Amino acid sequence: MSSSEEKKAGFLAIELDGAGYENLATAVLAAESAGFHAATFTDGRVPGRANALQRAAFAGPVTRNIAVVPEVDTVYTEPFHISTQLASLDYVSGGRAGWIVTAAESPEAAAAVGRSSVEGAALAHEAAASIEVGRRLWDSWEDDAVIRDVATGRYIDVDKLHYVDFETPSDFPGPGYSVKGPSIIPRPLQGQLPVLAAASLVGEGLVPADAVDAVLVSAPTPELLAGEVRDVRARLGASVAIVVELDVVLDARGEAAASRSGSAEETGRARFIGSAAALTDLLDSLLQESDGVRLHPAVLDVELDELSRAVLPELRRRGSLRAPIQDGTFRDLLGLGPAENRFATTATGAGK
Amino acid sequence: MTRDIFQPSGQIQFGIFFQGVNSGTIWKAPESGSQTDFESFRRLVQTAERGKFAAFFLGEGLRLREHLGRPHALDVVGRPDAQTMLAALAAVTTNIGLVATQNATYNDPADLAHRLSSLDLISGGRAAWNIVTTDNAWTGANFRRGGYLDHADRYRHAEAFVETAKRIWDSWETPSGPARRVLHEGQHYTVDVTPLLPRSAQYRPVLFQAGDSPEGRDFAARQADVIFSAHPKFDNAVEFRRDIVARSVAAGRGANAVQIMPASEFILAATDQEAQDKKDWVRSLQIGPQQAIAYLEQFWGRELSSYDPDGPLPEIDPVVEETSETRGSGFHGAKARQLADQWRAEAKDKGLSIRQFVTSKTARVDATFTGSYTAVADHLAEYARVGAVDGFNISPWLVPTGLDDIVNHLVPELQERGVYPTEYRGTTLRENLGLETPVRSEEPARVR
Ligand SMILES: Cc1cc2nc3c(=O)[nH]c(=O)nc-3n(C[C@H](O)[C@H](O)[C@H](O)COP(=O)(O)O)c2cc1C
């Protein structure tokens, strides 16, 4: 960005996997009152980890402003179920739901459902197909399909419901399939939930950039993140929002971050280790390059405490962090306009 | 020996069945709320919890019903995913059970078992699965597998599915692990999984079953904790209990192993007369003129909109050989013309118009309790005394206020009669239903 532009204000997301399922309400409320704009919920086969979408659903009614964004696998789960579950999440959170699309190589997940393992570029094709099914089903009811017209006795206007008739493309690498539709739930409150995916899953020959609303960008070190953001932006174009991934270990409770970071697992993400003040500077600059940053705290309670006391207030003071959007949707947060419906007869374009 | 003799508990409990897609929920009244907004669900579940209801049920259908080849327009349609909604409701409740109707055909066992475990943990041990089956290829069109199951295989498939799920839930050596690997190699799917979630406060989700064929009843007698039955009228309920007790004993599970909660509808008021008037009003809103015609159309297989709903049944004959009820409901069989003749004769005999006739055939005629609070309470106390049922699963005809009169007036009457709980026994569904702790299956991982 050029120096003549005004300072940008971005958003912050926090990954809540560390809250487990027992302290979920406390954790998500703490994140909301700290000023985080979104809470994300990791999924995947880890002992003791409850289903991410259900944790997000539980978090919905206890909060008011924070977006709730689960990871949901696209390879070994049914696209029809995913679509209706996510639409339901949007209802229970009052329009604050999103979807982090995952498509990980997982022989264990394949064996659990009796399928052969999907690898390489085929993973992205599975993801792309699931996203397409999900989005078509969300649009399969027009916004005003429920008419409750007493005079004619009609609860719905059948002309505003649509079969999605999805077929996997002819070059689909795995066993092809079809989905008929329409959805079993009316169009979600946001019309279309924002769809996020790792930048590595998106691009030519992978998930098409116009199928997602935001990408999650990782780099090996905090220093390399800004450059990676620019590369991804150049590769995918300006229409996709960019969210930077960052592990954080902070000086906290009288202990130096460096001594707390000892046994950290390998995550593939940049890891910041240091003081709240140094993190504030780093986030300040990252929020100028990107639309938002997702923080992965080393120990949720400990880091969340520091972040809410020392980091977020200072970022707000500097004008680099947005105020929470009162009663806003996740689309509002990402700056997405109203989602046009691909089936609506009045639609003017092919909005996602 | 006494295990084989049924002992009535002397109590009844209530569940609420939020049906979603159905023709009984009135959407035309000014007080009819949204069928999808979270607020409707929150209001109903919190009212139920105030009334010490044991459980909150959500129905499921995985394809929209159709009428004459298009989505059916006249009834309430469109509902949230059961487990997602229940996970959210877990956050705003503390004791009530959360029952998800989930299809055994269009889910994968390891995935469904994992999600139900999740719901069970998130809710502190309040989750249940209402097992339903469908084999129709029409629903399968929404899934990767497509329609892959024969009608005859439906319950064999469901049984293997449920046994696999139970083995997944039982795979824990101690409450927190480690889990043993579960293998199942069957005709329709292979499962090879090491479970990831610990057992819940109630060990594993409670199992409900809804389905009424002899195969369905035997399946329930072998596998379920509670049957969501279709027989609420007193004599039928007693007969159904006898049948289920016999099947449970034959299955080696003891006479009291399986509880019974029939589907039901309550139309109540201060006096019997007011309740009767209310019933007429409810029925007129449930079965409007268009609903009456559409009901016949599904059996006639043709458009009948030129017929007067307040006139006699159509004299023209059905165009189909076999009837096909609005797709998605569970009716099969009778020859269409024969049925039409029979119905015309019946309507003529009783002097009923189309609308009156259809009203007499639908709207949960057999499932309705109409009367004053005291009269209905007396009647229900009789069910409790003989142990005809363990409870009733109530479908409210209004959302979200449909439980208010039940909780405010009927529940206190039942509590005074000592046949309804005044407090929750515990925080898990299993405790609140008075079910025994499940015996953990000791079978080793096996392949079959
Ligand atoms: C009281 C009751 C409620 C039911 N609710 C559902 C439901 O919500 N979703 C569904 O797919 N099937 C539902 N069913 C249908 C059953 O799962 C089953 O498919 C049907 O009864 C046919 O099985 P059967 O031949 O054993 O009776 C219900 C059945 C009964 C008796």
What pLDDT digit, counting tens, does each position of A83-131 carry? 999 999 999 999 999 999 999 999 999 999 999 999 999 999 999 999 9
8 A C-beta contact, residue A163 and residue B83: no
Q: Name which of B92, B122, B190 is nearest A55 (Cβ-Cβ).
A: B122
A154 contacts B74? CB cut-off 8 A = yes
Residues of A in contact with B194 (CB under 8 A): 108
- Ligand 1 pocket, mutate which of B107, B132, B133 (most atoms under 8 A from CB): B132
Q: What is the pLDDT at residue A7?
A: 82
B442 vs B171, B222, B340, B437, CA distance in Å? Answer: 9, 17, 55, 15
B67 is in an annotated binding site: no
C-alpha A235/C-alpha A203 separation (Å) is 8
CA distance A101 to chain B (A): 17
Number of neighbouring beta carbons within 10 Å of residue B442: 6
Structure tokens at A228: 């990676």
AA letter at B263:
A
Beta-carbon contacts of B213 under 8 Å, excluding residues fewer than 6 positions away, are none
Mean pLDDT, range B124-144, rounded to an integer: 94
Nearest to B21 by CA among B68, B54, B66: B66
Q: Which of A135-149, B19-33, B141-155 has the highest mean pLDDT?
A: A135-149
Quick check: CB of B330 below 6 Å from ligand 1? yes
Q: Is B18 helix (H, G, I), strand (E, B) or coil?
A: strand
Q: What is the pLDDT at residue B62?
A: 96
Closest CA to ligand 1's atom 18:
B211
Beta-carbon contacts of A193 under 8 Å, excluding residues fewer than 6 positions away, are A86, A87, A89, A90, A97, A98, A99, A138, A330
Q: What is the pLDDT at residue A11?
A: 98
The full DSSP string for A92-129 is HTTS-B-EEEE----HHHHHHTT-PPP-THHHHHHHHH
The verdict on A317 touching B (C-beta cutoff 8 Å) is no
B213 is in an annotated binding site: yes
Quick check: CB of B59 below 6 Å from ligand 1? yes
Structure tokens at A236: 């995918």
Write out pLDDT tens, residues B286-317.
999 999 999 998 888 889 999 999 999 999 98
Look up the pTM and report it. 0.96
Q: Name which of A25, A78, A157 is nearest B144 (Cβ-Cβ).
A: A78
Name the strand (E) or helix (H) holding A53: helix A52-62
8 A C-beta contact, residue A173 and residue A201: no
On average, the pLDDT of chain A sits at 94
B189 vs A92, A122, B184, CA distance in Å? Answer: 33, 22, 8
B101 is in an annotated binding site: yes
A47 contacts B196? CB cut-off 8 A = yes
Count of CB contacts below 8 A, A vs B?
Answer: 179
Structure tokens at A168: 């996997």
C-alpha A327/C-alpha A349 separation (Å) is 28
B174 vs B169, B171, B179, B200, B203, CA distance in Å? Answer: 12, 9, 8, 11, 11
- Ligand 1 pocket, mutate which of B212, B243, B247, B264 (most atoms under 8 A from CB): B212
Q: Which atom of ligand 1 is nearest to the CA of B59?
A: 8
B110 contacts A88? CB cut-off 8 A = no
Q: What is the pLDDT at residue B325?
A: 53
Residues in chain B: 448
AA letter at A113:
V
Q: Which of left, alpha, beta for A57 (phi over 0: left; psi -120 to 50: alpha)?
A: alpha
C-alpha A342/C-alpha A181 separation (Å) is 14
- Report ipTM for this prediction: 0.96
CA of residue B200 to ligand 1 center, whole Å: 27
Quick check: CB of B263 below 6 Å from ligand 1? yes
Quick check: CB of B381 below 6 Å from ligand 1? no
B142 contacts A181? CB cut-off 8 A = yes
